[in-house]
Every structure is written in C-alpha cells, then in structure tokens.
Amino acid sequence: MLQQEEKLVTLLSDLVKINNDRIEGYRQAKDATDDADVKALFQHMINESLKYVSDLNGQLKAQGAEAETDTTVSGKLYRTWMAIKTTFAGNDRYSLFSSCEYGEDAVQRAYADALSIDVSMPYSVRELIGNQQANLKEAHDTIKSYRDVVSQ
C-alpha cells in the first residue's frame, strides 16, 4: 500500500476502535442501571455506533483492508476504571452520565483529530467522518444535558 493509503486505513481503523469503545462503554453503563429511560438512551447510543462501525468498515474494505473489530487500549483501561468507580461510588444517574460524557469527549477528540490529520482521503470519506462527528456531537450534548439535569 502507498503511504497515504496506509494513513487512511489507520485513521479509519482508529475510528472503528473508538466506536467499539463507545459501544462497550454504553453496554457497561446500560448494565449498571435499572432505569428504563436510561437503558433506552444507552441502547440508542450503542445502535448509533454499530452503524458507524459498519460504515467505517465498509470504507476499510473499499481500501482493500480487513474490517476492524478491536477496541483501543485506553478504552479498555477506561472501562476497567469505570467498573471500579461504580463499585465504590454507586450507579447513580449523575455518575453514569458523567462517565459517559467523559467517553463522549474522547470520541469528539478522536474525530477532530481524524479530520485535521494530513491524509489524502476521498471527499465521500471526509463527508462520512464529518457527518458522524456532527451526530456524535449531538449525542455528547444529549448526555451532557442529562447529566446537568440530574445534578440539580
């Protein structure tokens, strides 16, 4: 593969991994609550990232690469920390939403980095990433507003 194609494959793989982190994080958060409304919200977030993973893996295959199925090391560490934290702090709504917002912040940074990196990519890929970032920003803001409401 050419160097630019390798960079694009790495970038797409990293975005798949961060979405896989998001899926696992929301699954863990969903399991940590008994509130039906919160479970439904978290399931929506899971479904959203499942679609993003599918779309990004489609782009990876178009580049001649294998589909990505892994998560990031930092995501695994964060979920472990979150599990320990909820053991000691409890699973109240504020703690859950705060942890989820932290994860959403990481997703936003990953997408901002992906769009600012110096790599040649087709317009359709840049548009896909930009649209996902915009939708994920809305998800971030939703989680933040839920956190703000329960903190009052």
Q: For residue 109, what pLDDT band results from cuts at 50, 70 and 90? A: very high
- Residue-wise pLDDT tens digits, 129-152: 999 999 999 999 999 999 999 987
Query: What is each CA distance from 91 to 16, 29, 131, 142, in whole angstroms?
Result: 28, 9, 32, 19
- The 3-state DSSP class for residue 14 equals helix
pTM of this prediction? 0.90
- The 3-state DSSP class for residue 128 equals helix
Q: For residue 73, what pLDDT band results from cuts at 50, 70 and 90? A: confident
- CATH 1.10.800.10 corresponds to the domain 3-150: no
Length of the chain measured in residues? 152
- The 3-state DSSP class for residue 28 equals helix
Predicted confidence (pLDDT) at residue 9 exceeds the cutoff of 90: yes
DSSP 87: H
**Higher pLDDT among residues 61 and 85, named by residue:** 61
